[in-house]
Amino acid sequence: MHAFRPLFIIFTLVLSTGVLAGCQTSFFDRSIDKVEMTIDLATMHILDKGRGYDAVINEQENGHVIIIQAANRRTFTDDVSVSINGILMDQASFQHDARIITLVVNHLDDITPDALRDVQVTFDLNGGHWSGAIFDHLLPDQVLTLTTFGDTTGQTFTLFDSSYTALRWFYKLFIIYSEPHEAYEVVHADHSTAAVAHLDLPAYEYILAVHLQCQDHTAKLTVMNYTEQAETGLFVRFDGPVDDYTSGELGVSFYTLDVVSQTLDIMFKTADDLPLPVRPGYTFMGWSLNGVTVTSFPGYRMNQNIRAITYTAMWEGASWAALEAFLDALIPAKANDDITLPSSYSHFDILWSSTEEHVISLQGLFTKPYEAVTVQLTAEISLDDETRIRTYEIDVDGYKPLSAPIASSYIYRNYHLVNDDFFQTLDVINTAFITANADASLTGSFYLSNVSQHIMPKAKLHGNWVIMSIAPESSWSVIAANMTLIETLAANIVAMINQHGFDGVDIDWETPTGPEATRFTTLMRVIHQRVKANNPHHLVTTAITGGMWQPPMYDLINSAQYLDYINMMTYGMTSSHGYYQNALYRSQTSHHPTFLAGRTLTSCSIEESLDIFYQQYGVAYSKIIVGVAFYGIRQTRSYNPATQSWTAWTNAGSVYYHDIANHFLTHPDYQRFYDQNAGVPYIIKTDGTVFISYDDPRSVIEKSEYVIEHGLAGMMFWEYGTDTTGILLNALRSGLNK
């Protein structure tokens, strides 16, 4: 007996150790990390479940509640999972503590294995961007309704085009069509801070606007909110054509989503085609999901337990032939505007060089040269270890040549009415006016906006010389009396020319007096030196009235050398006593003797003025641009029956040519005459109380012939905005052979 005792003890210990080891998980670790059950959807009875917990299903008004309770001394882990009918339930769909799980089933589809699930689809564009088709998958942030176009009363949510330059008290969204996105993009927002003309704006086509008086309160609050946020991450789509919209209901949908971002999340459920991205220079090969190419969303069943997926766009780079075809189509044979010079295309790198960087820069920025030139662009194209060279020659027209006869003009009003005839006819466009202040600064934001928006784009296309004209009401006397101010003004003129693209400056000082004549010479000398040093092609001109009174005030014997041209204002030379304001020739006998009207004041004709400028001051004809009037000067008088006498003809203001053509020439109480001796027309009222001196097509052509015959520099007019008919412009074009 004693011999066997140790063996028994050892065997017992082994058995005890084995029992303890085998019960470690079940005895000491009683936590539950997974709950699984099967439910009959017809009866909502539990058909099967795992061990260690019990469950009951309670019906409630909006669905069912499943209560799952851990068995005695068992607990649920913090990250316990719940699967019903093979569907892994979302953690957000249930609450639990260590002992109880409460799961709410609002819809039977949530536990139906074959039901389709909402899946969050993330699109990784992989370098591409969305086309307009993406909007079909998005809900707009706001949907409003336009009812009017151009409602300046502010009563409605309205649409304006780019011709509107006021709108100071409107809340404005500026939009332009984006081809890649097939929608309008908001490029600027203004929270009623300034008129359109006073805003620094990018290119735009339309303005969506509301006023505080807008009766559509939803539209008012929405647009005001967008403008307050300075929101330019907006896209706008209309439910109908906008280009010919005038009135009626037009839906406007706003999208705040950044549709050009690299990723986008959209919820899908049913099978659907996937939206298509685009990427310049690449071919879209489909969407990749775990290495598999797909073009549609299949729809996922609940028991597939897929809640989110990511599709990655697949692209195929262009071939050498495709790249070369792209560049051949991109680079024009003739340039009049900026050129797109990409630094890359598809998987190629491109390095550009230009033989004339001042005309076409390495970024493709275009600056019209004053003389025609051929620019050679070279593209050095690289892909991996291979490099190829491709060369393009581009012809660039220069400015219109300033050979006699020059067609010139002033424009002061109605900038928005300029048309192609304006640019095609004219060589020089004097834009009026910017103002020189007493400190020699230059101001005129509304003027600069007009020039930038309505003149510069087409002037650069047609090769017009655009001149900055400085106003008569400027502080000329103050500036000219101080050398420091003269230098400051000259520097500011050059800065303005460079900043805004002007081709020179026109000094309109009307008129120096006394000792200011020599100061005018000093002023012009400094301005001429600074402007020509900046660019020798730029023009320096001035405007001086014809006749014998004003020329002596300009020290022309000395100052003319600093002037490229003198715009001789042979209009408005007189405005009373029945005199012509604009005669070509001297004619001092009244053409209408009955009413004592239609004659010239001494020296107040083009012919006499030219003689004064040339004979007395040595100004060459090749520097003189003669002026004609695109307006009339009206004079009136009255009859006194008591004395049986007439009062003298007195100035009664200006009449625009379009009013002359549309009213006076068609009115039975007015009669037109043409004075062949003076070379000008006039209109007189049949009762002898109104006399209008003006230019018409016949006088413009006759003066044009005179300009050509006598070798003058050219002809100009004041001003484009006073003849909206285009009749006089066409006469000038014909007369000067433009």
- Could you report the per-residue pLDDT of 654-702, keeping only the tens digit for each? 999 999 999 999 999 999 999 999 999 999 999 999 999 999 999 999 9
In which element (H, E) is residue 685 found? strand 680-685
Are residues 602 and 498 part of one domain? Answer: yes
**pLDDT tens digits, one per residue of 541-598:** 999 999 999 999 999 999 999 999 999 999 999 999 999 999 999 999 999 999 999 9
Give the pLDDT score at 20: 32
**Alpha helices, DSSP H, located in 601-688:** 606-611, 657-662
Q: Band of the pLDDT at 219, cuts 50, 70, 90? A: very high
Average pLDDT over residues 497-515: 96
Q: Which CATH number belongs to the domain containing residue 591 in this structure?
A: 3.20.20.80
- Taking residue 228's Cβ as centre, other Cβ atoms within 10 Å add up to 12
Domain residue limits at 368: 333-396
Q: Give the mean pLDDT of the chain.
A: 92
Residue 133 falls within a domain, yes or no?
A: no
Give the pLDDT score at 233: 77
Are residues 81 and 40 part of one domain? Answer: yes
Q: 194 or 648: whose pLDDT is higher? A: 648
In the β-sheet with 119-124, what is the strand arrangement from edge to edge?
263-268, 119-124, 308-317, 282-289, 292-294
Are residues 523 and 437 part of one domain? Answer: yes
Residue 272 falls within a domain, yes or no?
A: no
Are residues 520 and 612 part of one domain? Answer: yes
Are residues 576 and 493 part of one domain? Answer: yes
Q: Do residues 463 and 336 lie in contact, with contact meaning Cβ atoms separated by under 8 Å? A: no
DSSP 3-state assignment of 352? strand
**pLDDT tens digits, one per residue of 608-618:** 999 999 999 99
pLDDT surpasses 60 at 392:
yes
Are residues 508 and 439 part of one domain? Answer: yes
pLDDT surpasses 60 at 620:
yes
Are residues 534 and 430 part of one domain? Answer: yes
- Taking residue 475's Cβ as centre, other Cβ atoms within 10 Å add up to 17
Residue 614 falls within a domain, yes or no?
A: yes
Average pLDDT over residues 199-214: 94
Q: Of 255, 282, 312, which residue constitutes the final position of a domain?
A: 255
**pLDDT tens digits, one per residue of 521-551:** 999 999 999 999 999 999 999 999 999 999 9
**pLDDT tens digits, one per residue of 319-378:** 999 999 999 999 999 998 899 999 999 999 999 999 999 999 999 999 999 999 999 999
Residue 542 falls within a domain, yes or no?
A: yes
Give the pLDDT score at 134: 82
**pLDDT tens digits, one per residue of 6-42:** 333 333 333 333 333 333 334 456 899 999 999 999 9
pLDDT surpasses 90 at 180:
no
Q: Which residues contact 562 (CB under 8 A, 6 or more apart)?
A: 521, 524, 525, 527, 528, 540
Q: Band of the pLDDT at 137, cuts 50, 70, 90? A: confident
pLDDT surpasses 50 at 280:
yes
**pLDDT tens digits, one per residue of 703-729:** 999 999 999 999 999 999 999 999 999
Residue 219 CA neighbour count, 13 Å, CB half: 28
Are residues 596 and 454 part of one domain? Answer: yes
CA distance 12 to 32: 33
Give the pLDDT score at 260: 56
Strand-pair category, 296-297 with 272-273: antiparallel
Long-range pairs of 158-162 with CB within 8 A, sequence gap ≥ 24: 158/208, 158/209, 158/210, 159/206, 159/207, 159/208, 159/209, 159/242, 159/245, 159/250, 160/206, 160/207, 160/209, 161/205, 161/206, 161/207, 162/204, 162/205, 162/206, 162/207, 162/453
Domains: count for the chain? 4
Q: Do residues 188 and 232 lie in contact, with contact meaning Cβ atoms separated by under 8 Å? A: yes
Average pLDDT over residues 462-491: 98
Are residues 708 and 587 part of one domain? Answer: yes
- Nearest CA to 203 among 498, 448, 453? 453
Residue 433 falls within a domain, yes or no?
A: yes
Residue 157 falls within a domain, yes or no?
A: yes
Residue 482 falls within a domain, yes or no?
A: yes
**pLDDT tens digits, one per residue of 90-129:** 988 899 999 999 999 999 999 999 999 999 999 999 988 8
Buried b (16+ CB within 10 A) or exposed e, 643-681: eeeeeebeebebbbbbbbbeebeeeeebeeeebebbbbb
Q: Of 205, 240, 255, which residue constitutes the final position of a domain?
A: 255
Are residues 454 and 594 part of one domain? Answer: yes
The phi, psi pair for 533, rounded to 5°, reads -65, -35
Give the pLDDT score at 259: 57
Average pLDDT over residues 625-640: 98
pLDDT surpasses 80 at 2:
no
DSSP symbol at 303: G
What type of residue is 567? N
Give the pLDDT score at 261: 59
Are residues 422 and 356 part of one domain? Answer: no
Q: What percent of the chain has pLDDT over 70?
A: 95
Residue 326 falls within a domain, yes or no?
A: no
In which element (H, E) is residue 699 found? helix 697-709
Q: 15 or 269: whose pLDDT is higher? A: 269
Q: Of 396, 423, 442, which residue constitutes the final position of a domain?
A: 396
pLDDT surpasses 80 at 258:
no
Are residues 429 and 382 part of one domain? Answer: no
